[in-house]
């Protein structure tokens, strides 16, 4: 049993990694948790975004522009370089030891900084330290993967974060991703004490998602037919539309809120059965769902999160994974569009993607493998219940 639980957690963490111990930086953790400052009148309107050209970044840009911010982007100039031709763009590297590093930021001042691209504490310490004299707020986009324990539903921002044996590790993988992000949070707060905002999103979804970790379901259900559905219809899910997250980030800048915020959703619990029903409703397909127990999927080597995106069995050390408290974020202004809207817009975007990109999704089961598992489940159900109808 322990081996199974460990394997499930490792699979999920590997999927969460995008690309150290939570050491006690002086006053960092207590200051972050206690901050949560009340709203204040918005002043300056100049914003630097470290990143800004992929998925969440452009949503932050659009939300900021809509509220009158003058936005500057700093990145390597390699991802979607044609985006936002009207914005000032500075090029360099997050690693100050590579090429020109952060040189383009020297001597510059912005009212606020949003860091969407920090994964290594040394990099975040360098950028936050350089920008501290001229910025009133540094907002770091972290992750709910920082938490060490996913076994307790309802965990909030005070829960312990993960650690690594070697604080000098900079390789980002499934095991190090969360603890490194926790160290990045602390590095930002150390550089700008009392002026740091930490946003911990869950799964970010919606149009332009490069991972397909949510897109799989609207696309698969829209194709119709028998759909392999994982676990039970009541299993919980959590995710946040990138557009809602972008709006929330700018809201935190407008109100000058600091502190830590779990930024996932929806506002009310959304079982995976309701998510799949939304996909069917929006697409108008004839999809039917065959719910296959987690134990059988495990035996078939069908992994939660990777092969069955969004979903993780809510048991044992992952019982609280999709039940994180978002009370602080909603109190601070995080709002959510209807799930149907996210599904509809994701499907509309997917239709605009080049055919070669749509030919093979980056998450979820392929059609042939799905048919194999469904056939195996029907055979298993038939052996267990001779004479019964097809397993659904």
Q: Is the dihedral of CA 327, 331, 333, 338 positive or negative?
A: positive
Whether the per-residue pLDDT at 74 is higher than 60: the answer is yes
Mean pLDDT of 197-219: 98
Whether the per-residue pLDDT at 199 is higher than 60: the answer is yes
Which pTM value belongs to this model? 0.91
Q: Compute how many other C-beta atoms are within 10 angstroms of the C-beta atom of residue 202.
A: 22
Distance CA 259, CA 126 (A): 20
Mean pLDDT of 163-170: 92
Q: What is the DSSP letter of 91?
A: E
Model confidence band, residue 183 (pLDDT cutoffs 50, 70, 90): very high
Residue 161, beta-bridge partner list? 147
pLDDT given for residue 44 in this prediction? 73
Of the candidate CATH numbers 1.10.10.10, 3.20.190.10, 3.10.129.10, 3.40.50.720, the domain formed by 2-384 belongs to: 3.40.50.720
Helical residues (DSSP H) of 148-259, grouped into ranges: 177-191, 216-223, 242-254
3-class DSSP assignment, residue 72: strand
Model confidence band, residue 29 (pLDDT cutoffs 50, 70, 90): very low
Residue 70, beta-bridge partner list? 46
Mean pLDDT of 9-33: 46
Mean pLDDT of 157-180: 95
Distance CA 336, CA 267 (A): 7
Whether the per-residue pLDDT at 376 is higher than 70: the answer is yes
Model confidence band, residue 38 (pLDDT cutoffs 50, 70, 90): very low
| Average pLDDT score, the chain | 91
Distance CA 157, CA 219 (A): 34
Q: Compute how many other C-beta atoms are within 10 angstroms of the C-beta atom of residue 319.
A: 16
Residue 49 corresponds to which tokens in the numbers above?
A: 């975004």
Model confidence band, residue 18 (pLDDT cutoffs 50, 70, 90): very low
């Amino acid at each position: 049993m322990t081996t199974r639980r460990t394997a499930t957690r490792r699979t999920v963490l590997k999927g969460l990694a995008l690309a150290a111990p939570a050491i006690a930086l002086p006053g960092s953790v207590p200051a972050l948790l206690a901050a949560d400052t009340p709203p204040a009148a918005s002043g300056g309107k100049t914003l630097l975004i470290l990143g800004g050209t992929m998925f969440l970044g452009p949503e932050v840009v659009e939300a900021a522009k809509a509220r009158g911010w003058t936005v500057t982007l700093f990145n390597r100039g390699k991802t979607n370089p044609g985006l936002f031709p009207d914005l000032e763009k500075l090029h360099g590297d997050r690693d100050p030891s590579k090429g020109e590093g952060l040189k383009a930021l020297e001597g510059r001042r912005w009212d606020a900084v949003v860091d969407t691209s920090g994964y290594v504490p040394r990099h975040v310490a360098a950028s936050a330290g350089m920008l501290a004299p001229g910025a009133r707020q540094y907002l770091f986009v972290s992750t709910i993967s920082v938490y060490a324990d996913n076994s307790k539903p309802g965990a909030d921002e005070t829960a312990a974060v993960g650690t690594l044996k070697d604080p000098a590790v900079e390789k980002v993988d499934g095991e190090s991703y969360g603890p490194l992000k926790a160290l990045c949070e602390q590095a930002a707060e150390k550089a700008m004490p009392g002026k740091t905002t930490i946003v911990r999103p869950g799964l970010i979804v919606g149009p332009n998602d490069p991972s397909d970790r949510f897109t799989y379901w609207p696309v698969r259900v829209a194709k119709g037919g028998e759909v392999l559905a994982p676990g039970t219809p009541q299993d919980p899910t959590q995710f946040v539309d990138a557009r809602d997250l972008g709006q929330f980030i700018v809201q935190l800048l407008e109100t000058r809120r600091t502190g830590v915020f779990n930024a996932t959703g929806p506002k009310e619990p959304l079982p995976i059965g309701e998510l799949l029903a939304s996909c069917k409703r929006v697409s108008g397909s004839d999809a039917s769902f065959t719910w296959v127990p987690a134990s059988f999927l495990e035996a078939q080597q069908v992994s939660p999160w990777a092969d069955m995106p969004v979903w993780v069995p809510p048991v044992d050390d992952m019982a609280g994974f999709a039940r994180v408290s978002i009370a602080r974020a909603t109190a601070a202004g995080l709002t959510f569009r209807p799930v149907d809207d996210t599904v509809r817009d994701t499907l509309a975007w997917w239709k605009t993607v080049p055919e070669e990109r749509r030919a093979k999704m980056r998450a979820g089961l392929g059609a042939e493998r799905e048919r194999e598992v469904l056939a195996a489940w029907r055979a298993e159900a038939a052996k267990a219940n001779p004479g019964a109808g097809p397993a659904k």
